[in-house]
Amino acid sequence: MNLQKAFLITFLGNYITNTVVAALVALVPASAVPGMLTPQYITFVVLAAIVVGLLAAWQGVRSINAAAIFGAIGFGVSLAVAFVSGVAGVLTQTGDLGQVAAVIPNFGPFLLSWSTLVLLGYWMIPSLLVGFMMGRGNASPAPAGSPVM
């Protein structure tokens, strides 16, 4: 698997998920009930999973191992982009490195939220499904001279 291509594709996937998918989800009527299981949130996760599955197929994952690597890279890229965007946003708005230093500890609770688990899920599950589906039938034949069982 080409890791450079995987990083670029997952960065593109993160961008598509955070802009295009989020824009499409904005068309879904908002729920009056707060919480995670709103129609908008569910639509976002489903569309994000579809995008990740398509990108995993484009990357050419052909095994569970390659799919796990691709999903892990996507998850890591998403976390890194969230961190850099948060720090850059605070710096842009305030122009004060002291404010940036005060905001950095807030990234810890973000990592420990359900949203991070959902993020891991919509990067790993579709990638693993694509890797499993593409990997079926790609079993390597037994080497010549080995006993057949």
pLDDT of residue 2: 86
Query: CB within 8 A of 61, min separation 6: which ones?
Result: 1, 67, 70, 127, 130, 131, 134
CA proximity to 119, closest of 54, 62, 52, 60: 52
pLDDT of residue 34: 81
Which tokens go with 111? 């990592």
pLDDT of the chain, 149 residues: tens digit per residue: 789 999 999 999 999 999 999 999 999 998 888 878 899 999 999 999 999 999 999 999 999 999 999 999 999 999 999 999 999 999 999 999 999 999 899 888 888 999 999 999 999 999 999 999 998 856 555 556 655 55
pLDDT of residue 147: 59
pLDDT of residue 7: 93
pLDDT of residue 144: 62
How far is Cα 22 from Cα 16, in angstroms, rounded to an integer?
9
CB atoms within 10 A of CB 30: 9
Vertex 20: Cα angle to 88 and 2 (nearest 5) = 75
This prediction has a pTM of 0.84
pLDDT of residue 33: 82
pLDDT of residue 90: 93
How far is Cα 65 from Cα 56, in angstroms, rounded to an integer?
12
pLDDT of residue 36: 80
